A and B are shown apart, each in its own frame.
Chain A
Amino acid sequence: AQSVAQPEDQVNVAEGNPLTVKCTYSVSGNPYLFWYVQYPNRGLQFLLKYITGDNLVKGSYGFEAEFNKSQTSFHLKKPSALVSDSALYFCAAPPGNFNKFYFGSGTKLNVKP
């Protein structure tokens, strides 16, 4: 089955430290991979996506993600976390040539001051 997985329900990091939120995928063909962020009582905001090309994708708010085909991963990273980055992060992928998204289960990021 085609899907994305987020192995960590929660990630805790201190402000100023680097952060990583993990995502692995299982989709056929060339994957399109997305990261979204959801703040409390808000909709999902697009952060970045991988279509093709450079394996390091830069997105909004200083986030970046690294596509790794051999490990079928698309981890979200930021060099220096902010308290305001605390939110729920979702990895997503459309299967095949469809545009519907399969979402991971979400990872809650807690950044402590």
Chain B
Amino acid sequence: ALTQSPATLSLSPGERAVLSCRASQSVGGSLAWFQQRPGQAPRLLIFDTSNRATGIPARFSGSGSGTDFTLTISSLEPEDFAIYYCQQCNEWPPGFTFGPGTKVDL
């Protein structure tokens, strides 16, 4: 299971956002982060803990290991106000789990 904190993060444009994801057991390096804007499909931001997906701005960064992971947005842009989900995969049998999400609010 994955837990995310805080549930809601209220910030202003230009501020730094730090989102936390904690796993109930070690997930190795296979943690990903997704952004979902209202009315849109989720979008992959970070894979394998710290690798930005194609086209993702450098203000997004991921870190962590074992059971504790962090998504950092260095300086919030207006389009960054959204819900962020972390996700991990069991090796075998494959099973994919999402965290409950963190809403970054204006």
**Are these two chains actual partners, yes or no?**
no
Question: Which B residues lie at the A interface, using CB under 8 A?
Answer: none
